[in-house]
Amino acid sequence: MQNTTTGPVGRSRPRAARLRRGAAIGAVGVLFMGLASACGGDDSGSEADGKVTLTVATFNEFGYEELIEQYMEENPDIKVVQKKTGTWEEHRDNLYTKLAAGSGLSDIEAIEGDGMAAILEEADAFTDLTDPEVEGRWLDWKTEGGTSTDGQLIGYGTDAGPEGICYRADLFEQAGLPTDREEVEALFTDWDTYFATGKEFVEKMPDVAWYDSSKGTSQAMINQLEFPFEDADNNVVALENPEVKAVFDKVTEMQAAGLATDLDQWSDDWVAAFQNDGFATMACPPWMLGVIEGNADGVEGWDLANAFPGGGGNWGGSYLTVPAQSEHPEEAMALANWLTAPEQQIKAYEAKGPFPSQEEALGDPQLTDSVNAFFNDAPTGEIYSERAAAVEVQPYKGPKYGDIITAFQAAILRVDQGQESPDEAWESFAADVERIG
């Protein structure tokens, strides 16, 4: 049912103030100056054929295509235009450029979970989405991640990202490894077992990497640390945290052992690797299922294990926000409300795999009984429900989290691609952290 009520609209501060704050974000490395000239305005707030036009900017696969068509059928006075980019990084850069410019943002902007902390620092550039109708809709930690320090609900939660391991059963068979899901689970009980199995795999399959990228694997390991980069008071502790250094050392060691590709996750070469047997496993939150199926179209052998090294972890999960720039904030808020309602999140999951973060949706038989034909009819709903229950730690993400993990993964990629030694890359990362902090 369409939401016909709207909560209070957030205040909008003067454009000059937003510009200064947006420029401050850019100073720490996430806003590339060259983008400003490349990003023009959009048709947010325009009217076509007497209809209110709303733009929705997303990235990756949110599963909204059919939902948007349904919403327009149910709301004939609304036209919705989705603007979808391939990656969060590309979407983020465009978002920050237009936030700094004070114009050009879509009526609804999706924000990746790791980026919400920085957005909450700019809370008064976004609409307060507080509404009694949505109270209790999400998992507590999901709601907290979209709420500012003064209690404004800036983001409506979309998905959560409990992690399993996706694997190529056909390549496992060629390497003499078990292929049955229950047997495969034993290979992924902890990181030591996962990496040891990977060494065994690459000995028998030297032309195939064990996992897709050091970037993705390091992200999965960081997701299991409580305070990886900042403490509870937002002090930067990345360089003093031995757990962070241990992750860096382990993934660079495994790269040297031949377990990882040298590919930048989300690059064209990474996408192509799905078609040419480039790797056998990858950390796999639910939203990754649609990515794999799209990139590996025609490839048989993908499956999903109900296991994750170390027990559990959550990677990703996004939010929908309504920028104060929107000319139709009430209509945009109603659409964001509808898209993140449990009924719609189940449909988005069935379409592309984003796993709901809504309390009601998590118990829906449509979710728990669902299977995925591409992944050998894996009971994905049951698996991810159990993976969600296994999550015991959510990394603290302060306002500098996004910048620091970007620098962390960039340093690891330089090792992967032979640009720096591990020691040199760590020193470069340290210098980046000093600039960010």
Q: What pLDDT digit, counting tens, does each position of 230-252 carry? A: 999 999 999 999 999 999 999 99
- How many Å apart are CA 102 and CA 22, to the nearest integer? 9
For the cut 50, the answer to whether the pLDDT of residue 35 exceeds it is no
From first CA to last CA, the distance across the chain in angstroms is 46
For the cut 70, the answer to whether the pLDDT of residue 45 exceeds it is no
What's the burial of 77, exposed, middle or buried (CB within 10 Å: 0-12/13-18/19+)? Answer: exposed
Q: What pLDDT digit, counting tens, does each position of 190-237 carry? A: 999 999 999 999 999 999 999 999 999 999 999 999 999 999 999 999
Q: What pLDDT digit, counting tens, does each position of 322-355 carry? A: 999 999 999 999 999 999 999 999 999 888 888 9
For the cut 70, the answer to whether the pLDDT of residue 414 exceeds it is yes
Q: What is the mean pLDDT of the chain?
A: 89
Global confidence as pTM: 0.78
Q: Which domains does the chain have, with CATH numbers?
A: 15-160+316-368 (3.40.190.10), 164-311+377-436 (3.40.190.10)
Window from 15-19, 88-92, 264-268, 279-283 with minimum mean pLDDT: 15-19
- Per-residue pLDDT at 2: 30
The SS3 of residue 237 is coil
Q: What pLDDT digit, counting tens, does each position of 109-136 carry? A: 999 998 898 899 999 999 999 999 999 9
Segment 390-417 mean pLDDT: 93
Q: Which residues of 261-298 are buried (b: 16+ CB within 10 A; e: fewer)?
A: bebbbbeeebbebbeebbbbbbbbbbbbbbbbbeebee
Segment 70-98 mean pLDDT: 95
Segment 252-260 mean pLDDT: 98
What's the burial of 299, exposed, middle or buried (CB within 10 Å: 0-12/13-18/19+)? Answer: middle
Helix (H) or strand (E) holding 47: strand 47-48
- Per-residue pLDDT at 437: 87
Segment 380-402 mean pLDDT: 91
| Residue 424 CB partners (closer than 8 Å, separation 6+) | 414
Q: What pLDDT digit, counting tens, does each position of 365-378 carry? A: 999 999 999 999 99
- Per-residue pLDDT at 48: 55
pLDDT category of residue 50 using cuts at 50, 70 and 90: confident
- How many Å apart are CA 295 and CA 273, to the nearest integer? 9
Contact of 211 with 309, CB cutoff 8 Å: no
pLDDT category of residue 47 using cuts at 50, 70 and 90: low
Q: What amino acid occupies position 50?
A: G
